[in-house]
Amino acid sequence: MFGNKEIQQEEIIKQLCTKYAVSPQVILYAFAVNSGVGIIPQATIPAWILENMHKVAAISFSEKELKAMHSLDRNTAFCPGCSPWRCL
């Protein structure tokens, strides 16, 4: 994952990784998608892209889970240097 990896160490992210049996990256991709944000993962291997897409599509967070992840907002980009795209 490109950018600041600290978010992957947040307790809610770790809990959701365990619950859904996926990587932190998949949790963060699913969070973006469940929040109505389009994503462009950096993967270049077609099999990985397809695998990530299936895993993300299978996750439907509860309102409580979404609220907990939204509470991680620090009003800053987690991917410095992504300007002007305003990436998470």
Asked, for residue 83, whether it belongs to a domain, the answer is no
Asked, for residue 50, whether it belongs to a domain, the answer is yes
Asked, for residue 76, whether it belongs to a domain, the answer is no
Per residue in 20-50, pLDDT (tens digit) is 999 999 999 999 999 988 887 777 889 988 9
Only one residue has tokens 């949790």, namely 27
- Provide the pLDDT confidence category of residue 1 given band limits of 50, 70 and 90: very low
Average pLDDT over every residue of 48-73:
93
- Provide the pLDDT confidence category of residue 81 given band limits of 50, 70 and 90: low
- Predicted local confidence at residue 18, as pLDDT: 98
Q: Mind spelling out the 3-state secondary structure of 32-59?
A: HHHCCCCCCCCCCCHHHHHHHHHHHHCC
Residue 46 token pair: 């077609």
Determine the Cα angle at 40 with ends 57 and 85, to 5°: 135
For the whole model, what pTM was predicted?
A: 0.80
Q: Could you count the other beta carbons within 10 Å of the beta carbon of residue 36?
A: 6
Asked, for residue 88, whether it belongs to a domain, the answer is no
Q: How many domains does the chain have?
A: 1
Asked, for residue 80, whether it belongs to a domain, the answer is no
**Structural domain boundaries enclosing 21:** 5-70
Q: Cα–chain-centroid distance for residue 27? A: 5
d(Cα 11, Cα 17) in Å, to the nearest integer? 10
Q: Percent of the chain having pLDDT more than 90?
A: 52
Asked, for residue 30, whether it belongs to a domain, the answer is yes
